[in-house]
Amino acid sequence: MPARFHKPPGKPPNALDEIVWTVNPSNDTLDGLINYVCKYAQEYFALAGLRYRLQVPPQTPFNPGQSRACGITFILAATESVNNIVKHARADSAWLRLHLLPEKFVLEIEDNGRGIAAEDRKKGRSGLRNLQTRMEDVGGTCEFLARDGGGTVVRLTAPLGTTAS
C-alpha cells in the first residue's frame, strides 16, 4: 500500500510537503511525479467532499528520471489545477487521467463544474496564463478545454525522460 500524507482532518496538503518531496532526489522519476500528484489529488478532493476517480497505468515504463525543473513545474501546475477545481469550479466530481506516450506524458484533470467563464478566457486571467507559461518553460503545454455537459479539462503535457536540470 502506498504511503500517504498523514494530516489532521480538514487540513489540505501544504507547501512544506512539496518542498520536502522536491529536495529528495529519489523522487526525480516519472513514478515519483505520478505518486505525488495522485496522493495530493486524492487527499485534497476527499477533504473537499468531491467524488473523484484516478486513472493511471498500473505500471510505468522504465524512466531514467525527470529534470528537477520539469518535475517541480509539473507538480505546481497539477496541484494548482486541483486547487482550482476545489476553489472555483463548483464541481461535485473530478477525474485525473494519465496517458503515457513514447516521448511525453499527458495528465488530464477534469471536473463537472461551471467551466471557465468566457470573460476569464478573454481577460486571460493570470493564473491560467501562469500555468501555460510554466509548462512551456519546460518544453510542455497546458490546455484548457470545455467539457461536454459542463466543466473543464486541464491537459498538462510534459516531455518524458528529460534529465538535464
pLDDT number for residue 5: 37
Q: What does the chain come to in residues?
A: 165
| The pLDDT of residue 93 | 96
Contact status, residue 55 vs residue 95, Cβ threshold 8 Å: yes
Q: Which fold has domain 15-159?
A: Heat Shock Protein 90 (3.30.565)
Look at residue 101 in the predicted model and tell me its pLDDT.
87
For residue 3, the model assigns a pLDDT of: 37
CA distance 137 to 83: 21
**C-alpha distances out from residue 146 to 131, 132, 149, 159, 162, Å:** 17, 16, 9, 24, 30
- pTM value is 0.82
Could you identify the residue written with the cell 522519476? 29
Below-50 pLDDT ranges, the chain: 1-10, 163-165
